[in-house]
Structure 1
């Protein structure tokens, strides 16, 4: 039988394709892997990532839209799972959704430059909602979290999403589903099934939403966490997946390129969670090279008067150069604008959460300066991806002086990492305004010794604490 229409493959050909070997290897690897197999540095890194994710979720949960969303979800079902930092319990599906949304609200969630996305904020919400906390030990939780992070980060690294697709809500669904399956002690066969089952439940996340500042974009990771739990419910109930759902979606639909060899390259020896990055600038990661260069200029030349700046030139890699809109209309759009991010950093001294809120958006000093920022791609810088994230910022002053800053890596990347203490300091900066110093210290201490916890009841209680009332 033959078909003349290009790219249309006969069913007889498709159905004859075997299951890929990498998928079988992954099922065997994850099934056999135990917490006792985790080296000490991997355990430390997993706990630091968990702490960072919790801080990002708790802080994001205080945004007005999140408070209203949790209130709506709570009216539908009070449930048993915690909405972190909200002081409310929801159904597991709704809690996974809410925590995933909250974690992306402030653009402070960790990520992975090789996966080109944010594994942690997809996996953690599903992990916390997958099973009652009294049924999960700390060691089992850490093992599942690391493996869930690993599988979805590798899918991200093995594929090249279309330029119109936002990575949130895509391959993270596989990590969310995998962590749920692991926490219910799925067997090897089911672990293979869940990877293929979750792939087509990824969403067609639009990149344009972030450029427009359409805050639907903040929902993508939450939807991914919820869909991951649904995928495991399907497999556990006897539903079947296609033979190779990952290649179908990430080799043809959301991406046209999938490199299966990456899925097992140094498997068990190289851990993607140890190649992650942490964020201190409250903006899109693509802006961070320019913002690090601005920080270098401020450290070297001191604070610059915005009115003394004639123009600013930013040379950087392609994905960052795309973010050239100079006049964002809301906080999310501002975080995805290199001109605004550079301008507000120069005016406020840092790219803090407050530097992107409404008062900063309305600040004429920032708005005028952003109009004087030009952004262009340097093809040599683009060629350095993904290992490097370079940028050069050149500021021309009205008195004729020129000051420059340049970076090849983003601060916080695997090549220039923050120390665990620096990540902890970020956690406290986010968590203390939510719960107070004492409560934040209890969470930090518990995460620090999580592998010894018989269950997660105490962690659940701490995360369920209502936020402190503001005067």
Structure 2
């Protein structure tokens, strides 16, 4: 008896998606999909290496990564662990700095859910670079489509929910499962998604950073469970995301323009080291700074007014408790950007959180929802910032959407520079450059283990 066999699902959209995910030839990925997936993989690797430098990640890795206990790399370190543990640690590190890419239409981060599972299995199974590219692109596609079709409960954080599907599908591609097996993964993975709390990000509960890592680990586990004959429910996606974790699910999202519209090509990249909902306002702040010669004396600022969409103005705490909460505070993000004249990683450190000048300026920020801006979601994420100085001068700028969105993209050079700024938190410049070059050449790589070896020891890898 086929261990993957189940009663008919009566879900034609799910069946169509499963067939597509299992059967689409890696060699037939459109060139623009291959190119974009390389950028996404490099961006994720940079975020993982950057996050690996954080003290909590170093401690967690030390606790979970016994030396030479497996054949999958904990990226940014020299530790080798089993694939499922590598997916856990790499996925957790990758969200620590809040710099990983995302997809505005799914309202989440498919790349960091797909890559850690795909890379760990591709490395341990000696898959080709092209197989890794296909696994990430198709895992991204599956999870993003579920996110697009889902109206999550407002109390849920999206990380670790539909992202487990990204990981399971990516694992299935590396494992070369057939259409029946892919359908089994799509039905099994949703039941293993996390009951995530949105409060974690607002309160700065850093357990939130593990959600993507746990999803990656679960994706690897799903592949093993599938091979052992474990089955899921008949319509795991529709039930879990329509009635359990979500309030509604539209199955048409699974098949709409399937094969002609690729979600990796509609992704965004981040340059501000904080929640994406802050970015439109920060783009406006940077426009104002540019018009003022790059600097505004914070002592001259009387009031900062921000009009934006609902999800942005929800991030209203002017006195965040820690660095994670700071990344989800729009008043703090604006204040630290004005004072540091930059919105990178160093603007969201403990030193910044404890800086009284930033706290004073954040207290002068007023947030207001503009319903017309909210109505423009998800296609656009607008904001308007108005800075009033004590002398009565008003500085103002507005943005239609975030820089880095698919409609206003960063250049490949800008994305590479971001990667370098993060990767060099753990690696030397030559090491980071060599890894980036190898990722950009993935479609010609015979064995992903060679990329892992290069990441671990650049002097020994060919």
Query: Shorter-chain-normalised TM-score: which range?
Result: over 0.9
Is 1:415 aligned to 2:407, yes or no? yes
Task: Give the TM-score of the pair, scaled to structure 2.
Answer: 0.96
Closer, same or farther: CA 138–17 of 1 in aligned 2, 3 Å: closer
Give the 5 Å matches for 1:160-175. Answer: 160-175=151-166
Is 1:308 aligned to 2:323, yes or no? no
Aligned with 1:143 (options 114, 120, 134): 134
Aligned with 2:343 (options 330, 348, 351): 351
Is 1:206 aligned to 2:231, yes or no? no
Aligned with 1:445 (options 430, 437, 442): 437
Distance 1:18 1:120 in 2: 28
Q: 2:304·2:364 contact (CA, 8 Å) conserved in 1?
A: yes
Distance 1:326 1:419 in 2: 33
Q: 1:62·1:86 contact (CA, 8 Å) conserved in 2?
A: no
Q: 1:291·1:345 contact (CA, 8 Å) conserved in 2?
A: yes
Kindly provide the CA deviation profile for residues 88-142 of structure 1, in whole angstroms up to 9, marking residues without a partner as x. Answer: 1122111110000000000100000000000000111101122444520011111
RMSD (CA atoms): 1.6
Distance 2:129 2:419 in 1: 20
Distance 2:455 2:185 in 1: 28
Deviation of 1:18 (Å): 4.0
SS of equivalent to 2:395: strand
Farther off after superposition, 122-131 or 275-284: 122-131
Kindly provide the CA deviation profile for residues 6-63 of structure 1, in whole angstroms up to 9, marking residues without a partner as x. Answer: xxxxxxxxx9984300111112212321122111111110101000000000010010
Kindly provide the CA deviation profile for residues 284-318 of structure 1, in whole angstroms up to 9, marking residues without a partner as x. Answer: 00000110010010011231110100011111100
Task: Give the TM-score of the pair, scaled to structure 1.
Answer: 0.94
Q: 1:133·1:455 contact (CA, 8 Å) conserved in 2?
A: no
Aligned with 1:460 (options 452, 455, 459): 452
Deviation of 1:150 (Å): 0.2
Other-structure match for 1:10? none
SS of equivalent to 1:387: coil
Other-structure match for 2:280? 289
Distance 2:347 2:298 in 1: 15
Deviation of 1:465 (Å): 3.8
Distance 2:45 2:57 in 1: 15
Distance 2:115 2:189 in 1: 16
Other-structure match for 2:207? 216
Give the 5 Å matches for 1:320-339. Answer: 320-339=312-331
Q: 2:380·2:400 contact (CA, 8 Å) conserved in 1?
A: yes
Kindly provide the CA deviation profile for residues 61-88 of structure 1, in whole angstroms up to 9, marking residues without a partner as x. Answer: 0100011101100249822211000121
Other-structure match for 1:255? 246
Farther off after superposition, 403-412 or 30-39: 30-39
Deviation of 1:441 (Å): 1.4
Give the 5 Å matches for 1:392-431. Answer: 392-431=384-423
Kindly provide the CA deviation profile for residues 326-373 of structure 1, in whole angstroms up to 9, marking residues without a partner as x. Answer: 001110000000000000000000111111111111211111000000
User: What runs of 5+ residues in structure 1 fail to find an aligned partner?
Assistant: 1-14, 467-471
Count of paired positions: 453
User: What runs of 5+ residues in structure 2 fail to find an aligned partner?
Assistant: 1-5
SS of equivalent to 1:433: coil
Farther off after superposition, 379-388 or 19-28: 19-28
Other-structure match for 1:50? 41
Q: 2:23·2:178 contact (CA, 8 Å) conserved in 1?
A: no
Q: 1:249·1:255 contact (CA, 8 Å) conserved in 2?
A: yes
Q: 1:86·1:465 contact (CA, 8 Å) conserved in 2?
A: no
Kindly provide the CA deviation profile for residues 204-240 of structure 1, in whole angstroms up to 9, marking residues without a partner as x. Answer: 1110000000100101000110111111211111111
Other-structure match for 2:104? 113
Other-structure match for 2:3? none
Deviation of 1:450 (Å): 0.7
Q: 2:122·2:449 contact (CA, 8 Å) conserved in 1?
A: no
Q: 1:152·1:172 contact (CA, 8 Å) conserved in 2?
A: yes
Deviation of 1:389 (Å): 0.4
Q: 2:315·2:330 contact (CA, 8 Å) conserved in 1?
A: yes
Distance 1:16 1:458 in 2: 42
Distance 1:16 1:439 in 2: 51
Closer, same or farther: CA 38–234 of 1 in aligned 2, 3 Å: same
